[in-house]
């Protein structure tokens, strides 16, 4: 993700670590969709802190569909001497199979060169070619490049050379067109860009990426996103055929379940928990799923394999579904020019229940999606719909209730218990955490939490069985800790969970204290904290925080404090009802007004003597 020229800039020059003297790229595209890329760059090391990362350069490629060649690699010393990278300064990391066979899941290789004798003031120069031997999609090609406005570029030139008869569309942002001509049967187009003195930016949150606002360019032979979905489906959908093995497996999984939705749930849960999610794939395997027999034999597959297997199992029970392409990263809208890299993940859609399913997550319940899949544009491979998006859980579905009871002893030690109930995304994430916890980690959890705070303490964690894929979870712990507050004598303490087993309300509010001038990711939450705090009878409470109730159209905070004798009861609730997973800058401006007052209330202390 990169900041754009639209980001808030302070006007002050950025202190540079490196400078690209030039970056030149040429994409030579063939009629069949293959291409040869040539990249060459030179950068000057300006600061000692940039030395380490400037001493090497790498290029990664798929060995079954691409070939690479380093054309030049050398250090250009400040005094003009050229030191070529010697042969023993090359490192090739290869994913390969046994003997002459292909590797099972990834054939990505990385070629790294280490530049000799690099010092501040020197230049490092790297030039390489990348040749496609097989197109990702027959007779189709697309790519995108982005340039950060926080990096100094003296001279950027990007050229495309393609058949004049080939239909293409492209868009350049913040770049100048320097060539657009036909030479015989070839078309040449080139853009240039320079950013010699980047300015400091106040942007810190890059959680939302908008390709159309980033300096760079997009180039594609696809006319629409529907064409990308169709090109993917042409080779992927036949892989989801219902074989005899698939039919028998589906029958065994659903057993005596008769309702279609319950059958769909059982099939989804089986794939999610039995088929290990395995990263990337081989060559055009990046866009073509493997056979279901291979997936089942190995109990492993990438996102396309998961989606294909689940589609086949659902079809075996008469439940129609389709695969769907989404961006699992930070892109929450489709760029104007349809580029394949915009969609990098495959999930399933079941029209009968209007449900999206992502079985690559072994902890997400049926009917929900991992956070990274939510609120995203989606390309349905069958039944394509312009403007379709994955859903967001309804407001109020993410809840956290933390109830703490504890008692201070006359020596300042504390003992008590904390009870946590979760619903929604937090419950799903906590179930995954609890599922992977070892017995040793569980036994020492409370002690280790206090140890990180330089407190001597211990306790016992009790948790519900985390194996079930549901969107709720409950756990609790007893604890005791030495010298938690200053006693005997006068003092003060904040009211916060004495054992940090769940995120406090304060942590949710903190995210709004530095609003950005760009869209950022967000989510709704209803969080409640209850405290029953008993102080020694020898202690006199001098003051407690004030009650507070504040709200606007989408967030509210209430806090009630009540002292009866030496027992203080507290209830705080944050009800965040922001819609969707992307918040506009003005939302955070209004949120901050509430957050500032709420945080001031949370910072108030109980005074005693």
Which two structure tokens, joined as six digits, stand for 305? 């394999």
Q: Domain 399-608: which topology?
A: Jelly Rolls (2.60.120)
Query: In the chain, which segments carry CATH 2.60.120.1130?
Result: 399-608
Measured between alpha carbons, how far is residue 299 from residues 278, 287, 328 in Å?
10, 20, 23
- Give the pair of three-digit tokens for residue 560: 């009630």
Give DSSP secondary structure letters for 52-112.
Answer: HHHSEEEEEEETTTEEEEEEEEEEE-TTS-EEEPPGGGEEEE----STTSPPSS--EEEEE
Q: Which ranges in the chain are annotated with CATH 2.60.40.3140?
A: 9-223
pLDDT at 106: 65
Task: State the span(s) of the chain assigned CATH 3.10.620.30.
Answer: 228-380
**CB of 459 within 8 A of CB of 404?**
no
pLDDT of residue 304: 94
In this prediction, residue 6 carries a pLDDT of: 41
Q: Across the 609 residues of the chain, what is the mean pLDDT of every consecutive 10-residue run?
A: 43 92 98 97 97 96 90 97 95 65 66 97 98 94 96 98 98 98 97 96 90 96 98 96 98 95 98 87 72 95 95 98 95 96 95 97 94 96 96 93 95 94 93 90 87 88 92 93 91 88 88 82 94 95 96 96 96 95 91 94 95
What's the rounded Cα separation, in Å, for the pair 153 and 240?
A: 47
- The rounded distance, in Å, linking the Cα atoms of 422 and 145 is 42
Query: What integer pLDDT is reported at residue 446 of this predicted model?
Result: 86
Which residues touch 572 (CB under 8 Å, ≥6 apart)?
Answer: 505, 528, 529, 557, 558, 559, 560, 602
pLDDT on residue 390: 97
Query: For residue 96, what pLDDT is reported?
Result: 52
pTM of the model: 0.90
CATH number belonging to domain 9-223: 2.60.40.3140
At a CB cut-off of 8 Å and minimum separation 6, what does 294 contact? Answer: none
In three-state form (DSSP H/G/I as H, E/B as E, the rest C), the secondary structure along 537-587 is CCCCEEECCCCEEEECCCEEEEEEEEEECCEEEEEEEEEECCCCCEECHHH
| Lookup: tokens for 278 | 């395995």
Angle (deg, nearest 10), helices 260-274 and 303-316: 150
Distance CA 542, CA 329 (A): 51
Give the H or E element holding residue 598: helix 585-603
The CATH architecture to which 228-380 belongs is Roll (3.10)
């Amino acid at each position: 993700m990169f900041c754009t020229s639209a980001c808030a800039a302070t006007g002050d020059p950025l202190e540079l670590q490196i400078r690209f003297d030039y970056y030149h790229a040429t994409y030579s595209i063939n009629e069949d969709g293959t291409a040869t890329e040539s990249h060459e760059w030179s950068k000057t090391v300006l600061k000692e802190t940039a030395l380490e990362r400037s001493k090497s350069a790498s290029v990664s490629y798929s060995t079954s569909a691409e070939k690479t060649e380093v054309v030049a690699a050398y250090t250009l010393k400040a005094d003009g001497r050229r030191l070529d990278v010697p042969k023993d300064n090359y490192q090739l990391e290869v994913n390969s199979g046994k003997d002459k066979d292909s590797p099972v899941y990834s054939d990505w290789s990385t070629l790294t060169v280490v530049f000799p004798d690099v010092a501040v003031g020197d230049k490092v120069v790297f030039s390489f070619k990348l040749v496609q031997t097989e197109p990702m999609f027959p007779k189709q090609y697309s790519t995108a490049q982005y340039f950060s406005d926080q990096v100094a570029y003296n001279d950027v030139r990007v050229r495309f050379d393609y058949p004049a008869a080939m239909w293409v569309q492209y868009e350049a942002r913040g770049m100048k067109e320097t060539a657009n001509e036909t030479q015989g049967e070839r078309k040449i187009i080139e853009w240039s860009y320079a950013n010699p003195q980047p300015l400091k930016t106040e942007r810190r949150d890059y959680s939302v990426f908008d390709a159309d606002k980033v300096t760079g360019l997009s180039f594609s032979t696809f006319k629409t996103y529907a064409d990308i979905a169709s090109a993917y489906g042409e080779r992927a959908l036949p892989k989801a055929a219902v074989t005899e093995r698939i039919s028998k497996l589906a029958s065994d999984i659903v057993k005596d379940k008769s309702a279609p939705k319950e059958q769909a749930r059982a099939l989804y849960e089986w794939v999610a928990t039995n088929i290990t999610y395995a990263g990337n794939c081989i060559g055009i395997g990046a866009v073509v799923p493997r056979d279901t027999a291979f997936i089942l034999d190995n109990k492993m597959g990438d996102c396309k394999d998961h989606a294909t297997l689940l589609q086949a199992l659902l079809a075996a029970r008469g439940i129609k579904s389709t695969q769907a392409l989404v961006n699992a990263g930070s892109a929450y809208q489709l760029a104007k020019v349809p580029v394949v890299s915009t969609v990098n993940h495959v999930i399933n859609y079941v029209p009968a229940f209007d449900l999206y399913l992502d079985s690559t997550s072994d902890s997400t319940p049926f009917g929900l999606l991992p956070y990274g899949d939510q609120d995203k544009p989606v390309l349905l491979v069958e039944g394509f719909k312009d403007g379709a998006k994955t859903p967001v859980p309804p407001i109020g579905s993410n809840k956290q209730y933390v109830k703490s009871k504890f008692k201070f002893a006359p020596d300042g030690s504390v003992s008590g218990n904390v009870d946590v109930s979760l619903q929604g995304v937090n419950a799903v994430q906590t179930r995954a955490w609890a599922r992977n916890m070892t017995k040793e980690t569980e036994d020492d959890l409370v002690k280790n939490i206090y140890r990180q705070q330089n407190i001597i303490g211990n306790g016992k964690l009790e948790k519900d069985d985390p194996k079930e894929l549901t969107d709720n979870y409950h756990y609790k712990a007893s604890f005791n800790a030495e010298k938690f507050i200053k006693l005997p004598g006068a003092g003060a303490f904040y009211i916060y969970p004495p054992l940090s087993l769940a995120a406090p309300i304060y942590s949710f509010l903190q995210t709004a204290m530095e609003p950005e001038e760009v869209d950022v990711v967000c989510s709704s939450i209803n969080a409640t904290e209850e405290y029953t705090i008993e102080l020694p009878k020898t202690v006199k409470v001098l003051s407690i925080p004030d009650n507070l109730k504040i709200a606007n159209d989408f967030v509210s905070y209430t806090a009630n404090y009540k002292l009866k004798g030496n027992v203080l009861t507290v209830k705080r609730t944050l009800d965040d009802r922001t819609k969707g997973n992307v918040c506009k800058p003005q939302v955070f401006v209004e949120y901050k007004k509430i957050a500032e007052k709420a945080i001031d209330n949370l910072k108030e202390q109980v005074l005693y003597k």
